[in-house]
């Protein structure tokens, strides 16, 4: 067997180890078309190059690529390379503190080694895409990484959290998933002290630290739906339910997920659930959608809509 074929096979093994957490020797041998003995030799070659490949014996054991002193080469297929490049392009204008410069550096490195055909595809996507970025809150990248690892490894985290009134309390939670609305980042987690699910804004966290306490990840609410319900309903004085004569997808185009929730109804109608501190503004918000609407609750919103209608009627009069 030539040196070139051996090198190619070792790189293929490295790519396989990056694809999923663990492989048995038999699985690697089948993928590479070699014997178990060759697999063991190739593992030793990777270790000699400085890539820590951990081996676990017994039933359910196998090989796993560990964290080393340097980042191994990431072997991407065509779709992964394009997706990574496009994501880095979007991250260069995102809400993660310090990510813009790092994303641009990584994008430059990836573009340098990309085959011309893939580079052309990525640039075509970039040339046809603009990003509308509104004012957002920057999140420290280290905080994101710590939470991501805690979600992945099912370990509790502890942090100080500022409430709406500004008071700070220490919280210990079991994190499940982070959710971003584009402007803000949220964490859905089980609050250990309250024994209930909670939503936390990442920009209100301080002194975040992962503990060594592992928890058993069980059933939990859908993170996206739970966070959306929390940010659109819980913080507000009034919660309105309005039946709107429009398709749900049409209303969702006009109402961002962090502002309101749209529920399917029937016969070309849907139900908009939206919260607010001021009934007059809620009535104006619904009216500006431009669809026929029926207030389901609260009754006070009907009164605010009637008052708004009278004011608009006065404005519409000619002298």
User: What is the count of structural domains for the chain?
Assistant: 4
Q: CA-to-CA distance for 264 and 225, rounded, in angstroms?
A: 14
Q: CA-to-CA distance for 229 and 239, rounded, in angstroms?
A: 11
Say if residues 156 and 204 touch (Cβ distance below 8 Å).
no
Same domain as 105, residue 83: yes
Q: CA separation (Å) from 311 to 48, 51, 214, 282, 297?
A: 79, 72, 59, 15, 22
Classify residue 128 as exposed, middle or buried by CB count within 10 Å of its CB (0-12, 13-18, 19+).
Answer: exposed
User: Looking at beta carbons, which pairs linking 158-167 to residues 24 or more positions away fall under 8 Å?
Assistant: 158/208, 158/209, 158/211, 159/205, 159/206, 159/207, 159/208, 159/209, 160/205, 160/206, 160/207, 161/200, 161/204, 161/205, 161/206, 162/204, 162/206, 163/204, 164/235
Q: CA-to-CA distance for 58 and 56, rounded, in angstroms?
A: 7
Give me the pLDDT at residue 131, please: 58
The CATH number given to whatever domain includes residue 15 is: 1.10.10.10
Give me the pLDDT at residue 2, please: 56
Per-residue pLDDT of the chain in tens (319 residues, 90 and over written 9) = 555 577 888 888 888 887 777 888 889 999 999 998 999 999 998 888 878 888 887 666 688 888 765 656 667 778 877 887 777 776 656 666 666 667 766 776 677 677 888 878 877 776 776 655 555 667 777 788 888 888 888 999 999 999 877 788 999 999 999 888 767 789 999 999 999 999 999 989 999 999 999 998 888 989 988 888 887 776 678 889 999 999 998 998 898 887 888 888 888 899 999 888 889 989 999 999 999 999 999 999 999 999 998 998 888 886 5
Q: CA-to-CA distance for 159 and 30, rounded, in angstroms?
A: 46
Q: Could you give the 3-state DSSP secondary structure of residue 74?
A: coil
Q: Could you give the 3-state DSSP secondary structure of residue 48?
A: helix
Task: For residue 96, give its domain range.
Answer: 78-128
Classify residue 299 as exposed, middle or buried by CB count within 10 Å of its CB (0-12, 13-18, 19+).
Answer: exposed
CA angle 268, 307, 286 (to 5 degrees): 30
Q: Is residue 274 part of a domain?
A: yes
Strands 185-191 and 168-180: antiparallel
**pLDDT tens across 18-43, in order?**
777 788 888 999 999 999 899 999 99
Say if residues 308 and 284 touch (Cβ distance below 8 Å).
yes
Q: Is residue 72 part of a domain?
A: no
Same domain as 146, residue 212: yes
Same domain as 154, residue 121: no
Say if residues 236 and 276 touch (Cβ distance below 8 Å).
yes
Same domain as 50, residue 15: yes
Give me the pLDDT at residue 209, please: 93
Q: CA separation (Å) from 278 to 28, 108, 163, 301?
A: 62, 48, 21, 10
Q: CA-to-CA distance for 225 and 260, rounded, in angstroms?
A: 11
User: Which of 231, 258, 290 lies at the terminal end of a domain, its last residue?
Assistant: 231
Q: What radius of gyration do the chain's Cα atoms show?
A: 26
Same domain as 227, residue 150: yes
Q: Is residue 1 part of a domain?
A: no
User: Which of 186, 211, 231 lies at the terminal end of a domain, its last residue?
Assistant: 231
Strands 168-180 and 155-162: antiparallel
Same domain as 247, residue 226: no
Give me the pLDDT at residue 160, please: 94
Give me the pLDDT at residue 170, please: 94
Say if residues 197 and 242 touch (Cβ distance below 8 Å).
no
């Amino acid at each position: 067997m030539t040196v070139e074929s051996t090198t190619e096979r070792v790189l293929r093994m490295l790519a396989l180890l990056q694809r999923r957490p663990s492989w048995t020797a038999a699985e690697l041998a089948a993928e590479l078309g070699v014997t178990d003995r060759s697999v063991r030799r190739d593992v030793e070659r990777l270790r000699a190059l400085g890539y820590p490949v951990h081996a676990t014996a017994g039933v359910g054991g196998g090989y796993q690529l560990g964290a080393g002193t340097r980042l191994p080469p990431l072997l991407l297929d065509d779709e992964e390379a394009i997706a990574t490049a496009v994501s880095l392009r979007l991250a260069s204008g995102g809400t993660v503190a310090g990510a813009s410069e790092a994303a641009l550096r990584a994008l430059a490195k990836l573009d340098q080694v990309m085959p011309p055909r893939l580079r052309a595809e990525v640039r075509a996507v970039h040339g046809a895409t603009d990003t509308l970025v509104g004012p957002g809150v920057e999140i420290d990248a280290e905080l994101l990484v710590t939470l991501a690892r805690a979600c992945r490894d099912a370990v509790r985290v502890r942090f100080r959290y500022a409430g709406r009134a500004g008071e700070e309390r220490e919280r210990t939670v079991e994190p499940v998933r982070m959710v971003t609305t584009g402007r803000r980042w949220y964490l859905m987690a089980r609050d250990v002290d309250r024994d209930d699910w909670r939503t936390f804004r990442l920009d209100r966290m301080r002194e975040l630290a992962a503990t060594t306490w592992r928890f058993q990840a069980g059933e939990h609410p859908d993170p996206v739906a739970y966070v959306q319900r929390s940010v659109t309903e819980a913080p507000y004085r009034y919660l309105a339910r309005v039946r709107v004569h429009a398709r749900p997808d049409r209303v969702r185009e006009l109402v961002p997920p962090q502002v309101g929730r749209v529920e399917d109804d029937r016969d070309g109608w849907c139900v908009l659930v939206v919260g607010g501190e001021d009934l007059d503004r809620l009535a104006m918000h619904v009216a500006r959608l431009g669809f026929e609407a029926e207030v389901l609750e609260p009754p006070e919103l009907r009164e605010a809509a009637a008052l708004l209608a009278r004011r608009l009627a006065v404005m519409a009069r000619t002298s």
